[in-house]
Chain A
Amino acid sequence: MTTPLVEMRDISIAFGGIKAVDHASIDLYPGEVVGLLGHNGAGKSTLIKILSGAYRRDQGEIYVDGKQVEIYNPRDAKALGIETIYQTLALADNVDAAANLYLGRELMTAYGTLDDVAMEAECRKVMGRLNPNFRRFKEPVKALSGGQRQSVAIARAIHFNARILIMDEPTAALGPAETAQVGELIKQLKAEGIGIFLISHDLHDVTDLADRVTVMKNGEIVGSAKVNEVTQDEILGMIIAGKCPPNATPGPGAVNL
């Protein structure tokens, strides 16, 4: 069997007494989409933020390509090819779409100055593919709609040859056409061998796109299963009751019956 692209082992983090993530382990293979499910506050965002470098874990290990890595900040994660679309989008509201797209990785002219025109041109191309109705390239992103802002955040994550993509509710603000577009995009990225963590509350979306699902409850992993080996009702049971079906691998959060 191939080595996993990412493996997070026995990860814990607490915020002032609240165990947001409690001894969680999760893995991801190249070309695979893993759906991360769970109720509000289950610890999904917190777990993936540890991988993206936004939080420092209290305990546990992270492996990329089988090698143990230390991720102290978002720069470390990006250097490992980990790109993230945050639930909060994490855009700089006061600058335009192109500046956000290239934030931290600006295109420069031969004189070492910002090449704003080239960035805008590139941004028009990327956004044209993702959201053809997008027109407002000059405005600060504060002036954009929720879905437009989300498109900018998605564009930023996929534009820089990620090997590992984390999508925290990437379609929450999108209309049906744009959601379908993102679905197509995920399939395309998957075919290119990129590993994707997909967090969503839309069970249909997840079962459509994911190969496996991992369910969290109260910071703990309830269990993981191949999507085609469990029913939607069984997944719902995992999310709501923490009940691990026979075809799934149970985690520490599984309720013993």
Chain B
Amino acid sequence: MTDTATGGTGAASRNRDSALTRFLRATEIDSRILGMIGALVAIWVGFDIYSGMLRPSDGLFGGTFLTARNIWTLLVQTSSIAVMATGMVLVIVMRHIDLSVGSILAFVAVVIGSLQVFWLPQLGLPIGHPLIWVIALVCALALGGSIGAIHGALIAYAGIPAFIVTLGGLIFWRGASWAVIRGETVAPMDKTFKLIGGGISGTTPGSIGATASWGIAFLICAGIVAGLLYGRKQRRKFEFPLRPVWAETFLAVTGCVLVLGATYVINRYYWPTGVVNRWAEQNNVTVPEEGLDISFGYALPVLIALGVGIVMTFLATKTRFGRYIYATGGNPEAAELAGINTKRLTVWVFALMGTLAGISACISAARLDAASNALGLFDELYTIAAAVIGGTSLAGGLGTIYGAILGALVMQSLQSGMTLLNFESAYKDMVVGGVLVFAVWLDQMYRRRLK
């Protein structure tokens, strides 16, 4: 077996490297990702301790932040921005920007809201018909995608800068959302559609329960191990240096522990007693004295965000589409000269971004159980901030999907934490804004030191 950590470097220079450098090189972990996870842990622990000092509770460090309930909610709140941030990464990597996603979200939401509440019932589908949520979902994706494609075509073929096109879109689609419903609020959503938001509809939860959550967790663990083994097999086939076995094992074990640990925490969040009792009544179950613990399990919006993250990572790293996006971001002229149709690529990237905004529209409207033209206000800025905090360079060519998702989680953690501590919303905004600038500054310092 040929287990060498690195080619090239001699033993002498290897000894001079710090243990951390050697560890990072052997495992091929991006050190910036470690930094982000570190920041996330610091935020979580900090909020838990601080909230514990004000109001002791059953969090990991005695506060209200690191409780199963809060983590569950935090993930649900992150999902809408996380979904859009994965697309924003690709837009920014291509040296563009999309300022319109919040407005697209609102427009799609009011259209599919009206669809389920007014239009479909008028066409003969009674309220509560099982097809309604499917039609709404498909329309949301198609509508979001089409709007994105129009933006993309204006940018690519009419040559209008993305900043202008999507700034126009930001204003236009917000206005259009008002026009569709004349500024009113459409509610309530279809009872099945509502589950996409993760909340409970009657006694049906918008989450998958303990058993299915464990099932998904084990599937992901199997995926991690299979991925590592496949990579190793490929590298051996072409006789490339392999990662040391301890590093592979470390990656597999850490990945699995994180996934299983998260699932354990999520599964510790139980249905409220009222819902349990109602459910027991309907199903003729007697609730024992000490109560009945029914786990929510992973919420649907979280699973949607997870699925989107996996698909987008696959697109970005394993397909021509992704390769061309990164190459175009690195050098648009070279990509064009290499025969890449960068104009068509631009249309596709914006269409994808619009589709993701459509998905987020469903999540947001379902979670609120209502659609209004104020939905998704400022979401474009949070989405861009998530991508940038996650290491996406506005100069183009650089950025990862998982970074953007982590960025979204960092931002939502800050906001949720401050909400728990009863910060006024003005101060929350100031903190989030400051953190955005600070994070980018830190990233720049890091990159300069790397040179």
Contacts and interface: CB of A to CB of B under 8 A. Distances in A.
A58 B328 CA distance: 27
Nearest to A76: B339
Contacts of A74: 336-339
A114 B238 contact: no
B330 A93 contact: yes
Contact of A75 (B234, B319, B334, B339): B339
A117 B237 contact: yes
B149 to A, nearest CB: 22
A91 to B, nearest CB: 6
A84 B337 contact: yes
Interface in A112-150: 112-114, 117-118, 120-121, 135, 140, 142
Contact of B335 (A78, A84, A92, A113): A92
A62 B323 CA distance: 33
B334 A90 contact: yes
B330 A104 contact: no
Interface string B225-253: 00000000011011010000000000000
**Secondary structure type dominating chain A contacts:** loop
B340 interface: yes
A95 B337 contact: no
Contact of B238 (A88, A92, A106, A121): A121
B87 interface: no
B339 A118 contact: no
A57 B272 CA distance: 72
B352 interface: no
A121 B397 CA distance: 24
Contacts of A112: 319
Nearest to A112: B319
B443 to A, nearest CB: 16
Contacts of B323: 95, 99, 103, 106, 114
B329 interface: yes
A94 B328 CA distance: 10
B327 interface: yes
A238 to B, nearest CB: 30
A104 to B, nearest CB: 4
A75 B341 contact: yes
Nearest to A122: B238
B414 to A, nearest CB: 30
A86 interface: yes
A90 B234 contact: no
B318 interface: yes
B391 to A, nearest CB: 13
Nearest to B314: A113
Contact of B330 (A54, A95, A105, A118): A95
Contacts of A99: 323, 327
A94 B398 contact: yes
A247 B317 CA distance: 57
Contacts of B274: none
Contacts of A117: 234-235, 237-238, 240
A140 B329 CA distance: 13
B337 A86 contact: yes
Given A75-B341, A121-B238, A135-B8, A113 B326 contact: no
Contact of A94 (B237, B318, B326, B336): B326
Contacts of B336: 54, 73-74
Interface in A64-91: 73-75, 78, 84, 86, 88-91
A142 B334 CA distance: 13
Contacts of B254: none
B4 interface: no
B311 to A, nearest CB: 13
Contact of B334 (A91, A106, A113): A91
Contact of A118 (B238, B318, B341): B238
B331 interface: yes
A8 to B, nearest CB: 19
B284 to A, nearest CB: 49
B320 interface: yes
Contacts of B340: 103-104
A93 to B, nearest CB: 5
Given A113-B318, A118-B238, A93 B397 contact: yes
Interface string B299-343: 000000000000000100111100110111111011111111100
Contact of B337 (A54, A113, A121, A140): A54
B337 A90 contact: yes
Interface in B330-375: 330-331, 333-341
B278 to A, nearest CB: 47
Contacts of B317: 114
Given A78-B339, A120-B240, A90 B331 contact: yes
Interface string A163-187: 0000000000000000000000000
Contacts of A52: 337
Contacts of B7: 135
B238 A104 contact: no
A135 B240 CA distance: 13
Nearest to A86: B337
Interface string A4-19: 0000000000000000
B238 A103 contact: no
Contacts of B339: 73-75, 78, 104-105
A88 B238 CA distance: 32
Nearest to A79: B339
B327 A103 contact: yes
B341 A93 contact: no
15 contacts: A54-B336, A73-B339, A75-B339, A90-B338, A92-B326, A92-B397, A94-B398, A95-B330, A100-B327, A103-B323, A105-B339, A113-B318, A114-B318, A117-B235, A118-B238
Given A54-B336, A90-B337, A113-B318, 20 more contacts: A73-B339, A78-B339, A84-B337, A86-B337, A88-B333, A90-B333, A92-B326, A92-B334, A93-B330, A94-B326, A103-B335, A104-B338, A104-B339, A106-B323, A108-B320, A114-B320, A117-B234, A117-B237, A120-B238, A135-B8
- Which 8 residue pairs spanning A and B have beta carbons closest together? A94-B330, A92-B327, A94-B397, A90-B334, A92-B330, A104-B339, A121-B238, A113-B318
